[in-house]
A and B are shown apart, each in its own frame.
Chain A
Amino acid sequence: MRFPISSNTDIQSVLDQTHYLCQQHVTTEHIRIEVVTIVSELVYNIVKYTVGGVVSIEHCNGSFVINADDEGSGFKPSLSLALQEGFSTGNSLGLGIPSLIRLADELDLESSEQGTSIQIKKYIQ
C-alpha cells in the first residue's frame, strides 16, 4: 500500500490503513503498537518538515517493509544532531529518529539536500 502524504489530512487515513493491515497480519498487540508508532512517526515527520512525500507499507515473508520518501532538504542542521534523543521531535509524538531506530528490526536511511528515504523492516512473527 502506498500513501502520498502532503498535509495533515493524510495522516489519519494512513494510520487507519496501518491499523487495518496490522489487524490482518499481526497477532501480537505490542508489535501492532510498534508498527503503528513507526508509521506515525514517519508520517508526522514528512508532514512537519517537508513539502510532501510517500509512505508505503508492504507485508512480505513475515515482515512489514515500511518505506518513507520525502522531498525535504535532509536533516538540518545535521543527521548527527537528529540522532540525539529528543532533538528532532518538535511537536510530534516525542519519539524522534532514535526511537525509530530502536523500534525497527532493520533500518536503512539515505538523506541529502534533495530528500530523505528511510526503509524499515519490522518482523511480525
Chain B
Amino acid sequence: MINSAFSIEPYSTATGCGDFCHHVSLTTSDVFVVGDLTGHGNPAFEPVTREISEFCSAIKDPLNLIELANDCANIVRQHQLSVSLFIGRFDRQLPLLQYVSVGDLRALRLRQTTRKSLATQKASLGIHHPQQIKEFALKLNDKDRIVITSDGIRQLPPAGIEQVAACATPDECLKLLFSDYMNRDDDSVALVADYRTSNSAVMSQPSSPPARTPVSVVGNNTGASPPPEPTIPVGATHAVQSAVGAEISTPQPMSITNPTALEQTSEHQERYLNTVKDIKPRAQAWLSASDISNPRNALIYLFQALGLAQDTGVRLTSLCLELLDHGASDMDLFLEPTLLTLQFSCSKHLALQSVPLWRTGSLHYSNHHKCLQWQLTLVAGDQEQQEALVDLREMIKLDIDPQRYAQYKQDKDRDKLLAEQSKLALMGEMIGLIAHQWRQPLNELALQVQGVQLDFIDGLLTEETMNDFVTESLDSIKHMSQTIDDFRHFFREDKSVTTFDLKELADETLALQRSQLASQNITVEMQGENNQVQAVRAELKQVLMNLISNAKDALRDSTPPHVIQITTSGNNVEVWDSGGGMTDEVLAKAFEPYFTTKKHGEGTGLGLYMSRMIVEKNLRGSLELRNELRGSVRGLAVKITLPVAASE
C-alpha cells in the first residue's frame, strides 16, 4: 500500500510555475510523473504543463517508462524548453519501484534513518537530451519512504533526513520540507510516498485523482478511501501462465478456467464450508502460521517432503510469505494423504491478486469467511510416505531442519532402545529378587512337607499337627504370592500422576529388597517425615529401586559398616550408602549410558542413566550425585528433587 502526498509551491505566479506532479492510477500500478521545467516565473510554461497534464491523464497500460519519458521530452522540446523528469511506477503486485530519472530532481529512499539516493541520469530532457534513457528498478521494503524533490527544496543534511524520516505521515513531511528547506528563489515540488506491506500489496487510491492546481495544491493519497474492486483479468492472465506452466513439474494443472471463479459466492462458499468441516478430522497434520515460529522453514520443508521441484517450492513459499506480509492475517495448513490445503484469511482483493501467481492447484474464496483456499492434489502416498508426512509435522512443530530432525530421531530411537534395555535389566534383577524372596518360604515349605511325612511315619500325625501344617504352608504360599503381587504392581504401566506419601513409597520399595539387603548384613535406616507429593508413582518407585540396588552393590565389596540411609524431606528423597563414594573421574561419567564400574556381567551401565532420564524427562525433577561424609564414614548421596506441585 502506498500512502502519498505531493505539493507544489510556485516562485511567483501559478501560470509561471514550471514544477509539476501527476498521479495516475492504473490496474497494475500507480504512476507518479514529477517534473521541473528549467527556469521559473516563465509564462511560456503554462501551455507546456497543461499539455503534460493532458498527456498524463491519457497514460494507460501497458506502460513503457522510457517511451513515456521520450513523449514528455517531445512536448517540452516543441516549446524549446528542457525538463528534469522523474517517472515512478509502484507495482501493485511486487514490492518494487520502477523509474526513470533524468536531470536534477532529487530522489531518495529513506529506510528508517538511512538514505539511499536513487539513480539518476545527469542530463536534461528536451534540449540536452541524453543519448539513451535508462530505466531503473528498486526493491522496496515495508515502511520505505520515497521522497522526490526539485531544486526548489534544498538538499537535506543528515539532521534533515532524520527529521523527514521521523515524520508520521507524508503530509507532515511536506510541511517540514516546505517550511524548513524550501529555497525562496525557485519553484518547488515535493512528492512523499510511503510504502507499506501491511493490509495489502495494492495501493489504495483516492476516489478520483487529485486535480492539479498550481498553487499550493496538496495531492493526497492517504489510503483512507476504499480501493476500487480489482479488475484483474483472471482468465487472460492465466492464459499467459499456461504458456510457461508446462515447464514446471506440476502435480496438477491450474483448475481455474472461469475468470469469475473467485467472484462467485454462494457455490464456492458452500464448497468451502463443506471442505473445512471435513478437512480437520481427515488431516494427518494441520498447522497454523501463528503457531509456527518460522513459517518460511516450515513451507520449504513441506514442499520438499511433498516432492515438488525445488524452484516450484521456492516460488510457492515466496508467494505464501508474501500473502502473509501483505495482509493475510493467518495461514492454516492441512495435510491429507492425497491433498494439501493452504487457507489464508485475507481480503478478496488480495486473493484475486494472487490468482495468476499460483500456477498450480485449485483456488476457492469464501466471501463469508474471507478466506482464500488453495488445494493441491498429491499422488496417493504409500505407507512410507505417510510416515514421512507425520515426521514432517513433528519437524515443523519442533522448528528444526531435516538434518537436525534426523539426529533428533536417532537420539529418540537410541533413548527408546536404552529404555527397553534398562527395563530388561531391571526385570532380570527382579527375577533375582523374587528368587531370593522365595528361597526362604520354599525352604520352609519343603521342611513342613518333610515334617508331615516324618510325623505320619512316627504315628504322630494328629488333627492338630495337620492343621498347623496347613496353616504354616498357606502362610508360606501367601507370602510367596504377595511377593509376586508386589513385583507385578511394580511393573504395571501406570503413567498417571497421583498424590501419594513419599515415605510410604520408599518403604514399599525397600520392602521388595529387604531380605536381600538383610542377607548382605546391610542396615537400612529410614529418616524423615511423611510428605504428600504429586508424581508418576510407578516411575519414581523404579528410580528408587535402582538407587537402592546401586547402593547395595556398592556395599558388597566395601568395608563395614554397611549402611543405607533413606531420607525424605519435602519434595526430596535421598539415598546414601556407606560404600566409600565415587572418585571424581567416575562421578563425571556416572550418568553416561553403558558406563559401569561393576564386574563384567553384573551391571548394564544403564541404571543411573535411565534414572536421571526418568526423573528429568518424565517427572520433571532433578537427580544429583555427590560424595558425602556422614560421621566419619564416606559415602555417596543420590538426591531426587521433585517439582513442587501446582496446588502447593
Chain A residues at the B interface, C-beta cutoff of 8 Å? 28-30, 33-34, 37, 74-75, 77-81, 83-87, 89-91, 93-95, 98-99, 101-114
Contacts and interface: CB of A to CB of B under 8 A. Distances in A.
Given A30-B300, A37-B310, A101 B94 contact: yes
Contact of B241 (A30, A34, A85, A110): A85
A107 B139 CA distance: 5
A100 to B, nearest CB: 9
Interface in B444-485: none
Contacts of B243: 86
A104 B139 contact: yes
A33 B310 contact: yes
Given A33-B310, A86-B244, 4 more contacts: A85-B93, A90-B244, A102-B318, A108-B138
Contacts of B119: 108, 110
B88 to A, nearest CB: 12
A105 B93 CA distance: 17
Nearest to A111: B135
A94 B137 contact: no
Interface stretch (B12-20, B57-65, B159-167, B495-503): B57-65
16 contacts: A74-B135, A80-B62, A83-B98, A85-B237, A85-B356, A91-B247, A95-B315, A99-B318, A101-B95, A103-B314, A103-B318, A107-B137, A108-B137, A108-B139, A109-B136, A110-B134
Interface residues of B, number: 49
A29 B401 CA distance: 8
A79 B402 contact: no
A30 B296 contact: yes
A34 B314 contact: yes
A88 B36 CA distance: 34
B244 A94 contact: yes
B244 A80 contact: no
Contacts of A90: 244
A42 B96 CA distance: 18
Contacts of B132: 112-114
B24 interface: no
Interface in B188-238: 237
Contacts of B240: 84, 86-87
A86 B359 CA distance: 10
Nearest to B118: A108
Contact of B62 (A78, A89, A99, A111): A78
A85 B357 contact: yes
